[in-house]
Chain A
Amino acid sequence: MAHRYILGISAYYHDSAAAIIMDGEIIAAAQEERFSRVKHDPRFPVNAINYCLEEAFIEASDIDAVVFYDHPFLTFDRITKNCAFAGESSYPVFNSAIKSMMGIKIWVEKHVCKTIGSAGKLGKIIFAGHHMSHAASSYYPSPYNNAAILSLDGVGEWSTTTIAKGDGNKIELLQEINYPNSLGLLYSAFTYYCGFKVNSGEYKLMGLAPYGNPTYVKEIYDHLIDVKDDGSYRLNMEYFGYLDTGKTTSAKFHELFGGDPRQPESAITRKEMDLAASIQVVTEEIVIKIARHAQKLTGSENLCLSGGVALNCVANGKLLKENIFKNIWIQPAAGDAGGALGACYVAEYMHFGGTKKTGDNKNDFQMGSYLGPKFSEQEIEAYLDRNRYPYHKMEYTEKNKTLAREMDNGKIVGFFAGRMEFGPRSLGGRSIIGDPRNPGMQSKMNLKIKYRESFRPFAPAVLREDVNKYFDLDTDSPYMLLVAPVQHSIRKPVEPLAGASVDDMIPVINQIRSDLPSITHVDFSARIQTVHTETNKAFYDLLAEFKAQTGCSVVINTSFNVRGEPIVCSPKDAYLCFMRTDIDVLALENYLLFKEEQPNFDDKENWQTKYELD
């Protein structure tokens, strides 16, 4: 029987990606940035598409449908109408947008044909719609047969927030909030104001929040946003600039919070910490209100989440604790990249009428989100031999024993195994790992590996069966999208700091808070990844060996990259990152490389200026 292949594409805004499914099952998905090595690359995902066709191993002409995640004409409509409404002052916004739209967006079909040689059997592109793509990306791979679906992001076409209902293979959009009212853009306004990069620095703001006090919550509610009991909201556009100036915030916003935005890479002060804490509280309250409303509307006990706001794992953790829904599933590539996957599903189920697989409310269809390229041992060996890099080829169990021993001795490991992850998190396919019991590990990893601010905590990866031993969580969190407190039993008493400046985070960071200091945040929380043998045996077996040697079934897991660099994809990317940082051991599948054995590294590329801070 012939299979039905659908290629989904998201592009032109930020973090473009491609995905391919066969008869409703995911074959591959990847972000363009991983191949182009340009963080959040918004360009047409030529390399990601090529990879998807490689994984499916089909000709472009064998694709049944090519689907784009957005509807460029609706986006164009929004831009035009908003500019008309905003008047003459919006000319720069209009000018830039129209060039972009006329140059590329409306010619998606031509671009596809030029890139892969065919628009597939349909001979034309299907446009799935931005929020429908988001909704589909979270509902169809979820383990549920019905669900309330929330999609929360900056903006897509006109919508910024949507509530939908999934039932069987159908999704029905129920309610939406439209641009310019946007929870995502509200959060981004604070991201920008606190000196981080919009569309990528939001998770830093979230990491900063626990250091602050939510002292600005009243100002936010009094001036910036009006929220109703059902979670619907309106922004006061006098405080924002994105309608008419192209900037996120306005002078009035700056006046309200007492001055100009913080300059990137300047010192973070109490004000930024308190602002981060405040917008985090407001976001959580709104998300919870919307979720309650969605539950009432749909009557479902299951929730599916997507859109950039769904990457706010602190809010997700709070939502879980509220018990509004019995089950929650969050698309790990919740941002626009995941729209490529959602677009595939829209075509499969709503265009072709495919039958959704029956879920068991537990096991999803995302395959652990290991949907990217894998490299064979032959490829790795050929790469190492060609470059004459010294390595040790080991048996699988011997490799795990060696890596566990090295971590126990305080070494940092670059771990490269199996398929690359789809989505912004490293989940043990392309990860930097270390011993979380080591008190100096957070500082070492931040300053000598990631070259970034040291306030940001690292995430723990823990054997699924042991999660409750360390954390107040007893559910699966395979995608590192839930935050939960560390157990009281492993916490350490923290003495109040005498004489420290209120602006200085360093003494606070350096306090030991638990038996696992490197992953315990200032508020005793942790962003947890549960590791499952069914989806990542290589990572699971390594953690099991670490537990066997040390009694600890947790490792630090951070993305395999330096600051501002996309996560590594290939053995070459991994080797470059290994040599540019203080990673001690590189494990490329069963090939181990030790730093002290490597030849002098002549790095011609000035990567520290190439990769900008988020």
Chain B
Amino acid sequence: MNRQLFEYHPTIGYKFIKSLKTRVAHEAGGYLLRTNNWGFRCENDFQIGKIPGKKRILFFGDSFTAGDGVSNKFRYTDVLETMLPDTEIYNFGLSGSGTDQQFLMYQEYGKDIECDVIVLSVLVENIRRIKSHYRYYYNDKNEKVIYAKPYYDFKDGAFQLFNTPVPSQPLTMEELPKEEQEKVDTGGRFGFARSVVNALGLKEITQKITKYQPVPEYNESNTPEWQVMREIIKQWKGMAQAKLIVIPLPLYQFVEETSDASNYQSRFAELTTELDIPVIDPLPEMRKYTMDERRNFRHKTDVHPTAEGHKAMAEAIYPELSKILEQ
């Protein structure tokens, strides 16, 4: 029995079911997952007003922030909460979401919450999700089905939101128009080659040899994907009730130095120079660990961070975040 974790949401597509208390089976033995009174995977119940004497940070992100693969208490947000004095963290992480959905979540749930800092944790791979209009999921019969997602794009000179209200029912590939079939996120580049290499157990060696670049969308400032990402972040900053900070969370290929991170680092650095948005890059600190330690930052086959990986991320983020919070 796997409990259903998500429910339909007309604006975001889906979100966690409220007040869940479950244990998810996993290759590392399983992890505890609790959702709060608003339906977010957070140990703190949400309320609009701040608690006197406490600072508050809102974190938005995908499964790296939601904490797939580890119990709530081991996530980098929860570790940070123990490191930052008199600070409560609201975790809005949603597994499988893109920056577009996270922005919508902020508008739907976060914009009225009193806080000191808003953190957008962008798993660098999210750039691919924001250009997709659909995603694959597995239903309770373990069948692969396609669900629509909301997305932003430039059209007729304006930045617009599409696919809302999000259709609630699953689709098949055949039901999609030809041009939309290419907009289904299949989970990465080179789909067929990837499945063959993975099946042969040659993933890591192949990536090393080929210097695999998982996110070429960051190669130039003018790629359509980066343009959309940059615009979302720009609009978010314009709307935010507190200082917006961006944290690009690295994929393991960048931590373990099998891929070149400089392009995505340059793009995020532009957010500071061009939009005056503080960016905390945890990668340099995470690369200070030994290669063996870094390999333990992710699970054996699941690429999500282990408790060690989360701890390392928290320690890498903490110095700059605490400084910003003091300001």
Task: Tell me the A residues contacting B by CB distance below 8 Å.
Answer: 34-35, 46-47, 50-51, 53-54, 57-60, 115-118, 373, 375-376, 378-379, 381-383, 385-386, 388, 569-570, 572
Report the bound CA distance from A373 to B7 in whole Å. 20
Cβ-defined contact, A379 with B20, below 8 A: yes
Chain B residue with minimal CB distance to A60?
Answer: B29
> Which residues of B in the span 1-50 have a Cβ within 8 Å of any Cβ on A?
1, 3-4, 6-8, 17-23, 25, 28-30, 32, 34
Chain B residue with minimal CB distance to A376?
Answer: B19
Cβ-defined contact, B32 with A57, below 8 A: yes
Kindly list chain B residues whose C-beta atoms are within 8 Å of the C-beta of A375: 3
Cβ-defined contact, B29 with A117, below 8 A: yes
Chain A residue with minimal CB distance to B29?
Answer: A117
Kindly list chain A residues whose C-beta atoms are within 8 Å of the C-beta of B274: none
Task: Tell me the B residues contacting A by CB distance below 8 Å.
Answer: 1, 3-4, 6-8, 17-23, 25, 28-30, 32, 34, 71, 140, 168-169
Given contacts A46-B25, A53-B23, contact A378 B1 (CB under 8 A): no
A381: min CB distance to chain B, Å = 8
Kindly list chain A residues whose C-beta atoms are within 8 Å of the C-beta of B30: 50, 53, 60, 116-117
Kindly list chain A residues whose C-beta atoms are within 8 Å of the C-beta of B23: 50-51, 53-54, 57
Kindly list chain A residues whose C-beta atoms are within 8 Å of the C-beta of B169: 388
Given contacts A378-B17, A378-B19, contact A383 B29 (CB under 8 A): no
Kindly list chain A residues whose C-beta atoms are within 8 Å of the C-beta of B20: 376, 378-379
Kindly list chain B residues whose C-beta atoms are within 8 Å of the C-beta of A116: 29-30
Cβ-defined contact, A51 with B17, below 8 A: no
* Candidates B4, B28, B29, B71; contact of A379 at CB < 8 Å: B4
Cβ-defined contact, A386 with B8, below 8 A: yes
Give 10 closest A-B pairs by Cβ, nearest first.
A117-B29, A54-B23, A382-B7, A35-B1, A116-B29, A378-B18, A378-B17, A382-B17, A53-B23, A50-B25
* Candidates B7, B21, B28; contact of A385 at CB < 8 Å: B7
Report the bound CA distance from A118 to B34 in whole Å. 21
27 A–B contacts, CB within 8 A, in A order: A47-B1, A47-B25, A51-B1, A51-B23, A57-B21, A57-B23, A57-B32, A59-B71, A60-B29, A60-B30, A116-B30, A373-B1, A375-B3, A378-B7, A378-B19, A379-B4, A379-B17, A382-B6, A382-B17, A385-B8, A385-B168, A386-B4, A386-B168, A388-B168, A569-B1, A570-B1, A572-B140
Cβ-defined contact, B1 with A386, below 8 A: no
A380: min CB distance to chain B, Å = 10
A50: min CB distance to chain B, Å = 5
B151: min CB distance to chain A, Å = 22
Known pairs A54-B21, A116-B29 / 17 extra A-B pairs, C-beta < 8 Å: A35-B1, A50-B23, A53-B30, A53-B32, A54-B32, A58-B32, A59-B32, A117-B30, A375-B3, A376-B19, A378-B7, A378-B20, A379-B4, A379-B20, A382-B4, A382-B6, A383-B4
Report the bound CA distance from A47 to B140 in whole Å. 16
Report the bound CA distance from A46 to B18 in whole Å. 26
Kindly list chain B residues whose C-beta atoms are within 8 Å of the C-beta of A569: 1
Kindly list chain A residues whose C-beta atoms are within 8 Å of the C-beta of B1: 34-35, 47, 51, 373, 569-570
Kindly list chain B residues whose C-beta atoms are within 8 Å of the C-beta of A59: 32, 71
Kindly list chain A residues whose C-beta atoms are within 8 Å of the C-beta of B21: 54, 57
Chain B residue with minimal CB distance to A56?
Answer: B23
Chain B residue with minimal CB distance to A604?
Answer: B141
Kindly list chain B residues whose C-beta atoms are within 8 Å of the C-beta of A118: 29
Chain B residue with minimal CB distance to A117?
Answer: B29
B2: min CB distance to chain A, Å = 9
Chain B residue with minimal CB distance to A569?
Answer: B1
Report the bound CA distance from A388 to B28 in whole Å. 35
